[in-house]
């Protein structure tokens, strides 16, 4: 099984950015834990702060992988293009958020991705990624 985690803007700052919201662990450290836990899965990781690069990665992997775990971060609430890319590919996508976006600012209550996603997991911290991977097994 081949699964890719695609992270959007500012998630490269995990461990530094608003630790009260996002925790104090870097995603690279957490990704190593996921690789150890899910040894039977070929896990890959991609992060970009650039909307077009996220769309390109969805298109590149969206016909050949068994699953995509997507945290588009703030682009979730603004990017019709990423939402359209999720709908255009064949690989199932699970939308993930570290925080419970419904407990935050009103603009974060809207997702352009959810309608094309297999499911949505939010509010469980980094554990949200673990739950998303499990949904493909």
Active site residues: 22, 97
Give every strand in the sheet of 93-97, ordered side by side: 42-47, 2-7, 67-71, 93-97, 119-122
Neighbours of 94 (CB within 10 A): 24
54, 7 in Cβ contact below 8 A?
no
CA-nearest of 99, 2, 84, 72 to 42 is: 2
CA distance 85 to 30: 27
CA–CA distance, 62 with 80 (Å, rounded to integer): 17
């Amino acid at each position: 099984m081949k699964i890719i985690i695609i992270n959007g803007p500012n998630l490269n700052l995990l461990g530094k950015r608003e630790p009260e919201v996002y925790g104090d662990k870097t995603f690279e450290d957490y990704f190593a834990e996921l690789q150890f836990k899910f040894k039977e899965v070929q896990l890959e990781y991609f992060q970009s702060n650039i909307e077009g690069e996220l769309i390109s990665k969805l298109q590149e992997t969206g016909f050949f992988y068994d699953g995509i775990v997507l945290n588009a971060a703030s682009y979730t609430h603004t990017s019709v293009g990423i939402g359209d890319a999720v709908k255009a590919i064949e690989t199932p996508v699970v939308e993930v958020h570290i925080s419970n976006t419904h407990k935050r600012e009103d603009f974060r209550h809207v997702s352009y991705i959810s309608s094309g996603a297999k499911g949505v997991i939010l509010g469980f911290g980094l554990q949200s990624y673990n739950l998303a991977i499990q949904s493909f097994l």
